[in-house]
């Protein structure tokens, strides 16, 4: 899909992280069955009027598979630093499965987005909360209040339904879109980014995809493929204070993994995050959810036992490498695709300048 405002993905700039090839779209949607939908909300400009605007926010929906309530996925979560929220993860950790879409939004819209998920899933499952279980929506947040009127809670139920119902496979919009509309990362404009890896046949042939909502890091920390990009670009800073931020990382794979193995995968995405420079600061909320589409966990099966396929632990290393690389590249794509955004009170998050990035990468031998 064409990039807005002359922006480009990392590989379009000639920069590749790692040696494992990407999937067709270099996106989380390369994992078969995974879909992404987004709604971007931009309204108003000028001085903040709490409850009214300006609005720079949105919602991003990741659908693990069709009818995930009745065909659950093995899953696990991991918290690197817990100043934030990813709802329903107590149940994910307890049961070892994922049974809802994953929704990303801003902090104060968590309740409204959760409400929208309940409405959508209740429509699909009319006995939910009556003769069937109630649903615990999985909603993860980051703080976009530097650019957005958070107190207005401007994401509506219809926005949530639209994001879910319009979710699709294929290329994924990145940067200042969906839940990433108002996010700031490494003091540049951040937001949504994604990447994938397709293991060669001799390593299993599995696909790993990562999607991030980036809102973390200070400028000096930023590294891309090991290069201290943030230290090299010390201008284009926000003029007022930005929160310590957060990041949400979603890891998907078609490799047959059990919940404890998926948690190991989630931890490797945290290592990829660290390679981009952030230290998971005290005020940051760094939450990771990982799921596998290889096995299906039925909803209230009649059988007493189930059979699942799982990889041997001694063969996981290529998946660990791929997850690490995907996470780094997804974060970089969020930065290279995001456009300069002015929000409330004239607060501005500047886009990472791509021409200067290429000069820096050449200086350090990456181009």
What distance in Å separates the CA atoms of residue 249 and residue 290, rounded to the nearest whole number?
A: 8
CA dihedral 85, 213, 332, 172 (to 10 degrees): 150
Instruction: Kindly state the percentage of the chain with pLDDT values over 90.
Output: 96
Per residue in 72-96, pLDDT (tens digit) is 999 999 999 999 999 999 999 999 9
pLDDT at 262 over 60: yes
Token digits of residue 82 = 């817990």
Residues 89-117: tens digit of each pLDDT: 999 999 999 999 999 999 999 999 999 99
**12: Cβ contacts below 8 Å, ≥ 6 apart:** 3
Tokens of 313: 């632990």
Enclosing domain of residue 308? 4-363
The answer to pTM > 0.85 is yes
Angle between helices 157-165 and 110-124 (to 10 degrees): 60
Write the CB contacts of 236 (distance below 8 Å, at least 6 apart in sequence): 188, 350, 353
Grade residue 244 by pLDDT with cuts at 50, 70 and 90.
Answer: confident
How do residues 41-62 score in pLDDT, each as one tens digit?
A: 999 999 999 999 999 999 999 9
Task: Report phi then psi at 222, rounded to 5.
Answer: -60, 125
The span from the CA of 115 to the CA of 110, in Å, is: 9
Distance CA 40, CA 57 (A): 6
DSSP H stretches of helix in 238-281: 259-275
For 169-215, the pLDDT digits (tens) are 999 999 999 999 999 999 999 999 999 999 999 999 999 999 999 99
CATH number at residue 217: 3.60.70.12
Cα 230 to chain center, whole Å?
22
326: its two tokens: 């995907």
**Residue located via tokens 């809102």:** 215
Look at residue 1 in the predicted model and tell me its pLDDT. 53
| Contact (Cβ atoms closer than 8 angstroms) between residue 52 and residue 67 | no
Q: How far apart are CA 182 and CA 178, in angstroms?
A: 9
When divided into structural domains, the chain yields a total of: 1
The residues assigned a catalytic role are: 246, 284, 286
**No. of helices (H) and no. of strands (E), the chain:** 7, 14
Neighbouring residues of 129: CB distance < 8 A, sequence distance ≥ 6: 122, 135
Over residues 245-258, the mean pLDDT reads 98
Separation between Cα atoms, residue 203 and residue 317, nearest integer Å: 9
Using the 8-state DSSP alphabet, how is residue 283 labeled?
A: T
Q: Give residue 284's pLDDT.
A: 95
Q: Which long-range contacts (CB under 8 A, 24 or more apart) does 356-361 make?
A: 356/232, 356/233, 357/13, 357/224, 357/229, 358/13, 358/14, 360/227, 360/229, 360/232, 360/233, 361/13, 361/14, 361/15, 361/224, 361/225, 361/227, 361/229
End-to-end CA distance of the chain: 24
């Amino acid at each position: 899909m064409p990039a807005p405002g002359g922006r480009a993905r990392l590989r379009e700039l000639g920069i590749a992280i790692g040696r494992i090839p990407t999937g067709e779209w270099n996106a989380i949607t390369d994992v078969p069955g995974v879909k992404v939908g987004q709604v971007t909300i931009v309204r108003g400009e000028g001085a903040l009027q709490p409850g009214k605007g300006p609005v720079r926010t949105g919602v991003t929906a990741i659908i693990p598979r069709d009818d995930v309530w009745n065909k659950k996925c093995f899953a696990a979560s991991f918290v690197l630093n817990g100043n934030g929220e990813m709802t329903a993860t107590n149940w994910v950790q307890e049961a070892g499965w994922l049974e809802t879409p994953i929704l990303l939004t801003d902090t104060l819209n968590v309740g409204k987005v959760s409400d929208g998920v309940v409405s959508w899933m209740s429509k699909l499952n009319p006995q939910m909360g009556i003769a069937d279980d109630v649903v615990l929506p999985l909603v993860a947040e980051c703080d976009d209040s530097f650019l957005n009127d958070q107190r207005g809670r401007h994401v509506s139920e219809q926005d949530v339904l639209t994001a879910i119902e319009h979710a699709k496979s294929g290329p994924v919009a990145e940067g200042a879109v969906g839940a990433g509309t108002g996010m700031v990362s490494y003091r540049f404009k951040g937001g949504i980014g994604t990447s994938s890896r397709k293991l060669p046949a001799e390593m299993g042939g599995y696909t790993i995809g990562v999607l991030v909502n980036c809102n973390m890091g200070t400028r000096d920390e930023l590294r891309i493929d090991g290069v201290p990009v943030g230290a090299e670009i010390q201008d284009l800073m926000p003029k007022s204070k930005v929160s310590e931020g957060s990041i949400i990382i979603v890891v998907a794979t078609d490799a047959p993994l059990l919940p404890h193995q998926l948690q190991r995968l989630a931890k490797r995405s945290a290592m990829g995050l660290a390679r981009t420079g952030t230290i998971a600061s005290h005020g940051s909320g760094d939450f990771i959810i990982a799921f596998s589409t290889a096995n299906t966990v039925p909803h209230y099966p009649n059988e007493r036992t189930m059979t699942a396929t799982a990889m041997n632990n001694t063969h996981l290393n290529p998946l660990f490498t791929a997850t690490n690389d995907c996470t780094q590249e997804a974060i970089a794509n969020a930065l290279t695709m995001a456009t300069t955004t002015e929000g409330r009170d004239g607060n501005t998050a500047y886009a990472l300048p791509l021409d200067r990035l290429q000069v820096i990468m050449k200086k350090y031998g990456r181009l």
